[in-house]
Structure 1
Amino acid sequence: MKMNWAGVMPAVTTKFTEDDQLDLDMFSTNINAQLEAGVHAIILGGTLGEASTLTQDEKQILVQHTVDLVDGKIPVVINIAEQTTKGAILAAEQAEKYGAKGLMILPPMRYKATDYETVAYFKAVAQSTSLPMMIYNNPVDYKIEVTLDMFEELLVHDNIQAVKDSARDITNVTRMRNRFGDRLRILCGVDTLAMESMLMGADGWVAGLVCAFPRETVAIYELVKAGKIKEAKAIYRWFMPLLELDISPQLVQNIKLAEVATGIGTENVRLPRLPLQGKERERVMAIIDEGMRTRHTILDLVNVKVNV
């Protein structure tokens, strides 16, 4: 299966039971809802997936289980967030062995690498694998920016093909398009900037609230691509208070609460995370409750389908 870096790609949550085991039944329920909505890939092992808390055995189980679930319909992409180049290369090898079709990769974790070190890190991983790669550019949270000049160096590798851009600067899309044309596929990595990014030429959306609202997320993408901006805007405006739950240190807890509301998840998180408490929980629940209350008013707009 050729990796097409376009469309809606959920960065899915990992489901746990109340006794802190993998909840593969609920995980399957969610993945099946994503497939039914028409998402274009599944991304495992991101922040939303609580990957830093998973054992290697659990990661292997999740990858292989997801590959079996999607059954060749869409690709499975694995996020790599390692502290060392050696660790990242090993993670890429394991991802390929377990059946992944693509990699999303962050700069080295817990070390503010120089531009030279960051480029060398990405190149080493690219040279170690045949899998196509998407660079995750998130200078806001991870303090390292992958600049246009750095991408120029990286694109000499045929398997470095895309960027998940979370720089929170819409003009970045235009700068990348002007510099690289279609050599670099662009996916928005910030829920609250997704429609704007796609209107400026982004190829897709690595999404968070899609975990709870897959149909609405896919509908926005498809309506934008079909030029039905008025319809897309109506859904996006309804969605915005919910999308803002993604830009929070507690995004995992927020989105898992939303998954409970739509029946495709549980609230269980893994320590050190804990479920939301007190006034913050009340605030988040009020946003989710209002979104659910008004959801029926936009469902007629959700059924538009176009080809990517």
Structure 2
Amino acid sequence: MELIWEGVMPAVTTKFTDGDQLDLTSFKKNIRAQLDAGVNGIILGGTLGEASTLTSEEKETLIVKTLEFTKGAVPVIINIGEQSTEGAVAVAQRAEEIGAHGLMLLPPMRYKATDHETTVYFQEIARSTSLPIMIYNNPVDYKIEVTLDMFEILLKESNIKAVKESTRDISNVTRIKNRFGDRLKILCGVDTLALESIVAGADGWVAGLVAAYPAETVAIYELVKAGEIEEALRIYRWFMPLLELDISPQLVQNIKLAEVATGLGTENVRPPRLPLQGEERKRVLTIIEKAMLCRPRLPEYKNL
């Protein structure tokens, strides 16, 4: 399957049972909702997917089951955030063996690598697989920035195709386009900057709140691409208090509470994460409840 780095690609949550096992029934329901809404890909095992707590076997199960659930409708992409280059290469090769369509790569974890070390890390993974790759550029959370000069080197690897742009600097979309044109596809990785990034020329949106609100997310993307900015803004303004739940260390707990509200998931998280408590739980629930009371009517966005 050809992987086109465009459109809405949910970074889906991983569902767990009350007994802390993979909840594949709930997971399948959510994947079906994403497909029904018109997403363009599924990304597994990111931060929102609680990747750091998943075993290798669980990650493989998620890939295999997502391929089964999607039945070729959209590409399935697995995130790689391992502790070593050797470990990352092994995950990349195994993902290709079992049928994943693409990779999202974080920089080296638990070590603030230099620009050269980070570049070599990405190069070695890229050279170990034929799968197309999206680099996750998030210096705010991961303390390593992939600069344009680094991308100049990295784009010599033909399978490095895209960037998940999470620098929080919307002008970076323009800098990337000016320097690389369409050679490097740009997917916004920050929910609260998505509409602005798409207007500026981003090709897609790696979304978080899409896990609970798939149709609203895809509608915003499609409306902006069709030039229907006012209609997109109407939905985006309603969405913003919810989207802000994504820019928090507790984004997983927040978004899983939203999934409960829309019937697309459960609140179960894997320790050391725990469900929200006290005043913070009340605050998040209030945001969700207010949004649910005035959930917008969507236009026929699929045929724009």
**TM-score if structure 2 supplies the norm length?**
0.99
2-side partners of 1:61 and 1:102: how far apart?
A: 16
- Corresponding residue of 2:302: 305
Pairing 1:286-301 to 2, within 5 Å after superposition? 286-295=286-295, 298-301=296-299
Aligned to 1:50: 50
1:139 paired residue number: 139
The yes-or-no answer on 1:242 pairing with 2:242 is: yes
Spell out the pairing of 1:62-141 with structure 2 (5 A cutoff): 62-141=62-141
2:219 touches 2:298 (CA, 8 Å); kept in 1? no
Give the 5 Å matches for 1:1-308.
1-295=1-295, 298-301=296-299, 303-306=300-303
Please state how far the C-alpha of 1:51 moved relative to its aligned partner. 0.9
Contact 1:222/1:306 (8 A) holds in 2? no
- On the 8 A contact 1:42/1:76 being kept in 2, the answer is yes
- SS state at 1:236 partner: helix
Q: Which amino acid aligns with 2:76?
A: V
> Letter of the aligned partner of 1:142 in structure 2?
Y
Query: What one-letter code is carried by the residue in structure 2 that aligns with 1:299?
Result: R
- Equivalent position amino acid for 1:52 in 2: S
Q: Is the 8 A contact 1:10 1:211 kept in 2?
A: yes
Partners of 2:195 and 2:220 within 8 A in 1: yes
Q: Does the 8 A contact of 1:10 with 1:207 survive in 2?
A: yes
CA deviations 1:189-239 (Å, max 9, x no partner) are 000000000000000100000000000000000000110001000000000
Partner letter of residue 262 of structure 2?
T
Structure 1 runs of 4+ with >6 Å offset: none
Deviations 1:6-42 (A, max 9, x none): 0000000000000111100000000000000000000
Structure 1 residue ranges without an equivalent (≥5)? none
- The Cα of 1:98 is off from its aligned counterpart by 1.7
Q: How many residues align?
A: 304
1:66-118 CA-to-partner distances (Å, cap 9, x unmatched) read 01110011000000001111011001011111211000001100000000000
Distance, in Å, in 1 between the alignment partners of 2:40 and 2:303 is 13
Matched residues in 2 for 1:273 and 1:300: separation?
34
Contact 1:107/1:144 (8 A) holds in 2: yes
In the TM superposition, what whole-angstrom CA distance separates every residue of 1:166-192 from its partner, at most 9, and x where no partner exists?
A: 000000000000000011000000000
CA RMSD, aligned part only? 0.7
Please state whether the residue corresponding to 2:181 is helix, strand or coil: helix
**What secondary structure is seen at the aligned counterpart in 2 of 1:240?**
helix
Structure 2 gap segments, 5+ residues each: none
2:216·2:298 contact (CA, 8 Å) conserved in 1? no
1:306 CA displacement: 4.1
Structure-2 change in CA distance of 1:136 and 1:300 (3 Å): closer
In the TM superposition, residue 300 of structure 1 has moved relative to its aligned partner by 3.3
Instruction: Give the aligned residue type for 2:297.
Output: L
CA distance in 1, matches of 2:103, 2:20: 27
Q: Given that residues 112 and 144 in structure 1 are in contact (C-alpha distance below 8 angstroms), is that contact kept between their aligned partners in structure 2?
A: yes
Distance in 2, Cα, partners of 1:110 & 1:229: 41
Contact conserved, 2:9 with 2:205, CA < 8 A, in 1?
Answer: yes
Distance 2:115 2:126 in 1: 17
Task: Find the residue that maps to 2:146 and give its secondary structure.
Answer: coil
User: In structure 2, what residue type is equivalent to 1:35?
Assistant: L
